[in-house]
Amino acid sequence: MQSSQFRKGSAVRRLLSLATAGVILLVAGCGPNSANDTAEPSSSSAAGATGFPVSLEHKFGTTTVAAEPKRIVTVGLVEQDALLALGVVPTATTEWFGEKPGAIWPWAEAALGSAPKPQVLTSTDGVQFEKVAALRPDLILAIYSGLTAEDYATLSKIAPTVAQPKDTVDYGVGWQDLTRTVGAAVGRKDQAEKLVTDTEATFAAVRQAHPEFAGKTGMMAMTWEGYYVYGPQDPRARFLTDLGFTLPAGLAEVTGKEFGANLSKERTDMLDTDLLIWLVDAYAKDKAKVQADPLYAKLGVTTEGRDIYLENGELVGGATSFITVLSLPFLLDKLVPQLSAAVDGDPATAVQRAS
């Protein structure tokens, strides 16, 4: 079975406002590189890219980007948001879930503006190398990915390729590092830093407005082959710690060197946190299935209404998995009120469904 949020392959997975107040996103459209390119979209970018050549370290070595890239293909699953936030439209993106045109979710549409939507590649059966090559990219981004050494070797023969960080699990890069890496790769390092700083300031404001989050335990999970929990090396879990929550004791041991892991029936008690967010494919069906589990039903997290269910295909559920500088302001605006209602431990306090 394949969930829209999780793909199991040879490793583990193949898997407020548009931006923080004061951040203006500039998207300038560029035409095809030549008369022969009219059938293919081209990356568009704002003027003023600097810092080339730039060398970027990653899991498989160091990649040098010699000059400002004009045709960018994202093999990673969320890099398009960072590019758009920096005023750059990729030539092609890779579909993760949601099946949005161009793999551009609504929270990123204003940053895209009137520019043509990117061509969409799929990742169901791995990287589409032939299609990537046919796009004639001058930069390939695979930062939020599970790229293998063989994948990287093939892609790097097509164009300079930036893979996932060397000191991070696959699909574990945080939104800050991803934004900064993309910014450096396209010559917008200062813009990227401002995006990170402003978004972190938004988190700080939320923490100040919601001191009830501080020290409370929180976790994210999904129903995949039983119960699957996201660990401290996953961006979804770090979203909660950025808000002041702490992860439950023992979670790191369960997930080990991966971004998440299945929870055995004997460890169902670990789900009894002050806040538990379920990412599900079908809201009513999956919620009913979880709550029908006698082991789960007796936990305080459900009897006291401290659990929240988010449907993957809906905007809040999608933003919870993307965790980017464009999805986060939207996510904080929509989800924080529900978090506050959930952590009070009062079943009478209704947690309104986020969509």
- What is the SS3 string spanning the chain? CCECCECCCCCCCCCCCCCCCCCCCCCCCCCCCCHHHCCCCCCECCCCCCCCCEEEEECCEEEEECCCCCCEEECCCCHHHHHHHCCCECCEEECCCCCCHHHCCHHHHHHHCCCCCCEEECCCCCCCHHHHHHCCCCEEECCCCCCCHHHHHHHHHHCCEECCCCCCCCCCCCHHHHHHHHHHHCCCHHHHHHHHHHHHHHHHHHHHHCHHHCCCEEEEEECCCCEEEECCCCHHHHHHHHCCCECCCCHHHHHCCCCEEEECHHHHHHHCCCEEEEEECCHHHHHHHHHCCHHHHCCHHHHCCCEEEEECCCHHHHHHHHCCCCHHHHHHHHHHHHHHHHHCCCCCCCCCCCC
Per-residue pLDDT of the chain (355 residues; tens, 9 = 90+): 334 454 433 333 333 333 333 333 333 333 333 333 333 445 655 557 999 999 999 999 999 999 999 999 999 999 999 999 999 999 999 999 999 999 999 999 999 999 999 999 999 999 999 999 999 999 999 999 999 999 999 999 999 999 999 999 999 999 999 999 999 999 999 999 999 999 999 999 999 999 999 999 999 999 998 899 999 999 999 999 999 999 999 999 999 999 999 998 889 999 999 999 999 999 999 999 999 999 999 999 999 999 999 999 999 999 999 999 999 999 999 999 999 999 987 777 777 776 6
What's the residue count for the chain? 355
Give the predicted TM-score (pTM) of the model: 0.88
> Rounded CA gap, 143 and 173, in Å?
7
> Is the peptide bond between 235 and the residue preceding it cis, with omega within 30 degrees of 0?
no
Domains of the chain by residue range: 35-188, 210-343
Candidate CATH numbers 3.40.50.1980, 3.40.50.880, 3.30.300.30, 3.20.20.70; the one for domain 210-343:
3.40.50.1980
- The separation between the first and the last C-alpha atoms of the chain, rounded to the nearest angstrom, is 25
Strand partners, 216: none
> Rounded CA gap, 351 and 354, in Å?
9
**Angle 132-47-190 from CA coordinates, rounded to 5°:** 90
Decide whether 35-188 matches 210-343 in CATH topology: yes
Classified by CATH at the fold level, domain 35-188 comes out as Rossmann fold (3.40.50)
What pLDDT digit, counting tens, does each position of 326-339 carry? Answer: 999 999 999 999 99
CA–CA distances in Å: residue 355 to residues 78, 199, 301, 335, 350: 20, 22, 22, 9, 15
